[in-house]
């Protein structure tokens, strides 16, 4: 295995591998299984209320004594204007009608029923629970929060999708930078929600390495020893592994979703804002195709909140056309073994290549 003294010492792990915080997929059990493989587990908290964050942190601690990262969204929340309220009602009506046409009955929430959480509220819970590692996406933490977290000894890991974003993170004192390639599954970590840099991952990694001094972690398309070595050669101290774990024992995906992943083809994933209002890479389906042509996609987090119940209902009814299965571009022959087994196998795959 290619070691990184910088990363392993800072994160107190044996191998420079991070299990990706995939919201809706990565469970406390997955975090614990990653820790068992002597890698860093990551618990996704997204934009959950503070009390729910506490519950998940404590549930994870009951499964492992090792440190793990918690991950949050740090996006700005658009002001709820009269215009946005009108657009919300139009989108709500459009989605309900389309779902009914597809024989999926659902009544989505009114806008005044939506509860939004700021990341500052989450930080109170994260600090009070003594979390030592915080990763984040959709932007950068504000200066006051950075200083507050550092005063409590929290290691900070930001996400970039461009050199510009990497520079912003480094200049604000973020300890580690995760470079997210366009190949990666799930939401783009881009700071702005409207436009996303469409830069190939390894090209971006090399450019970021030449531009910043902070240790880099690479995410996007890592699935075997050769891809790990390529990322290391281009400047990564470690790699973040996501899609490889989608069908694992500890994945929160349902059986019918894992069955869809088992037959995924290389052109089945697309970048879409249809479910959340921010670009994410996932498996295209009827909802994505309809929404992308509709003109009814709201800004994040309103679109995300609007479609939450839709997705939950579709999961319960095993309706593949209304669920969001986020997946990257390297998803062939996904293993259904444990996360520990999958990560150990990935680590062991490096040695034959290094020996030649």
Domain of residue 319 covers: 78-115+265-326
Domain co-membership, 127 together with 27: yes
The per-residue pLDDT for range 209-223, each reduced to its tens digit, is: 999 999 999 999 999
Is 313 a domain residue?
Answer: yes
Q: Under a CB-based contact definition with an 8 Å cutoff, are residues 137 and 219 in contact?
A: no
Domain co-membership, 105 together with 225: no
Phi and psi at 150, nearest 5°, equal: -65, -35
Is 21 a domain residue?
Answer: yes
Q: In sequence order, which residues have a C-beta less than 8 Å from that of residue 330 and are 6 or more positions away?
A: 183, 221, 222, 223, 227, 243, 244
pLDDT at 239 over 50: yes
Q: Under a CB-based contact definition with an 8 Å cutoff, are residues 15 and 1 in contact?
A: yes
**Selection from 165, 147, 121 nearest residue 156 by Cα:** 147
Mean pLDDT for 325-330 is 94
**Selection from 162, 180, 172 nearest residue 71 by Cα:** 180
Q: In sequence order, which residues have a C-beta less than 8 Å from that of residue 265 and are 6 or more positions away?
A: none
Domain co-membership, 188 together with 53: yes
Residue 121's SS3 state is helix
pLDDT at 19 over 60: yes
Is 259 a domain residue?
Answer: no
**Can you give the pLDDT at residue 198?**
86
Domain co-membership, 162 together with 19: yes
Is 255 a domain residue?
Answer: no
pLDDT at 3 over 80: no
Mean pLDDT for 135-152 is 97
**Can you give the pLDDT at residue 333?**
83
The per-residue pLDDT for range 100-132, each reduced to its tens digit, is: 999 999 999 999 999 999 999 999 999 999 999
Residue 266's pLDDT band (boundaries 50, 70, 90)?
A: confident
- In the chain, % helix, strand, coil (3-state, to 5) comes to 40, 15, 45
**Can you give the pLDDT at residue 356?**
47
pLDDT at 342 over 60: yes
Domain co-membership, 165 together with 308: no
Domain co-membership, 26 together with 65: yes
- Distance of alpha carbon 132 from alpha carbon 176, whole angstroms: 13
Q: Under a CB-based contact definition with an 8 Å cutoff, are residues 272 and 282 in contact?
A: yes
Listed in order, strand segments (DSSP E) in the chain are 17-19, 42-46, 69-73, 133-137, 155-160, 176-180, 186-187, 216-219, 238-241, 269-272, 280-283
Sheet of 17-19: strand order equals: 17-19, 238-241, 216-219, 176-180, 155-160, 133-137, 69-73, 42-46
pLDDT at 197 over 90: no
pLDDT at 354 over 60: no
Beta strand 280-283 with 186-187 is antiparallel
pLDDT at 283 over 60: yes
Instruction: State the total domains in the chain.
Output: 2
Is 256 a domain residue?
Answer: no
Spell 200-238 as b/e; 16+ CB within 10 A means b.
ebbebbbbbbeebebbbbbbbbbbebebbebbbebbbbb
Domain co-membership, 106 together with 184: no
pLDDT at 147 over 90: yes
Mean pLDDT for 87-95 is 97
Q: Tell me the average pLDDT of the chain.
A: 95
Phi and psi at 238, nearest 5°, equal: -165, 175
Q: Under a CB-based contact definition with an 8 Å cutoff, are residues 346 and 231 in contact?
A: no
The per-residue pLDDT for range 252-265, each reduced to its tens digit, is: 999 999 999 999 99
Half-sphere exposure of 341 (CA within 13 A, CB side): 9
Domain co-membership, 42 together with 188: yes
Instruction: State the residue for tokens 């881009």.
Output: 190
Residues of the chain with pLDDT > 70, as a percent, come to 98
Domain co-membership, 172 together with 62: yes
Instruction: State the residue for tokens 């461009």.
Output: 162
Domain co-membership, 237 together with 106: no
pLDDT at 236 over 50: yes
Is 63 a domain residue?
Answer: yes
**Can you give the pLDDT at residue 196?**
87
Residue 4's pLDDT band (boundaries 50, 70, 90)?
A: confident
Q: At what angle do helices 302-316 and 82-101 cross, to 10 degrees?
A: 20
The per-residue pLDDT for range 329-341, each reduced to its tens digit, is: 988 889 999 999 9
Domain co-membership, 339 together with 301: no
Q: In sequence order, which residues have a C-beta less than 8 Å from that of residue 21 and are 6 or more positions away?
A: 42, 43, 44, 69, 70, 71, 135
Domain co-membership, 339 together with 235: yes
**Can you give the pLDDT at residue 326?**
97
Is 257 a domain residue?
Answer: no
């Amino acid at each position: 295995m290619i070691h990184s003294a910088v990363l392993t010492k800072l994160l107190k792990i044996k191998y420079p591998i991070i299990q990706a915080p995939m919201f809706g997929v990565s469970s406390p059990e997955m975090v614990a299984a990653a820790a068992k493989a002597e890698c860093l587990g990551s618990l996704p908290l997204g934009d959950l209320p503070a009390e729910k964050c506490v519950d998940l942190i404590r549930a994870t601690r009951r499964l492992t004594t090792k440190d793990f990262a918690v991950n949050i969204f740090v996006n700005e929340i658009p002001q709820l204007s009269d215009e946005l309220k009108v657009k919300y009602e139009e989108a709500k009506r459009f989605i309900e009608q389309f779902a009914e046409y597809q024989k999926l009955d659902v009544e989505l929430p009114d806008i005044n029923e939506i509860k939004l959480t700021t990341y500052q509220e989450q930080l109170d819970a994260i600090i009070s629970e003594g979390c030592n590692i915080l990763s984040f996406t959709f932007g950068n933490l504000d200066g006051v929060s950075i200083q507050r977290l550092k005063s409590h000894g929290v290691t900070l890991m930001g996400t970039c999708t461009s050199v510009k974003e990497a520079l912003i993170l480094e200049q604000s004192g973020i300890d580690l930078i995760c470079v997210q390639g366009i190949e990666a599954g799930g939401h783009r970590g881009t700071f702005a929600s409207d436009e996303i840099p469409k830069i190939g991952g390894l090209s971006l990694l090399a450019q970021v390495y030449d531009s910043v001094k902070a240790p880099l972690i690479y995410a996007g398309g890592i699935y075997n020893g050769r891809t790990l070595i390529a990322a290391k050669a281009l400047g990564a101290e470690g790699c973040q592994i996501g899609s490889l774990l989608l069908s694992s024992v500890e994945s929160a995906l349902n059986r019918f979703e894992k069955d869809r992943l088992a037959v995924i083809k290389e052109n089945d994933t697309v970048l879409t804002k249809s479910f959340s209002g921010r670009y994410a890479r996932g498996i295209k389906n009827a909802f994505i195709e309809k929404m992308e042509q509709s003109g009814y996609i709201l800004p994040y987090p309103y679109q995300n909140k609007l479609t939450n119940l839709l997705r939950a209902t579709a999961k319960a009814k095993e309706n593949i056309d209304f669920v969001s299965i986020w997946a990257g571009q390297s998803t062939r022959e996904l293993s259904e073994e444990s996360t520990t087994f999958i990560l150990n196998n990935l680590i062991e795959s490096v040695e034959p290549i290094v020996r030649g």
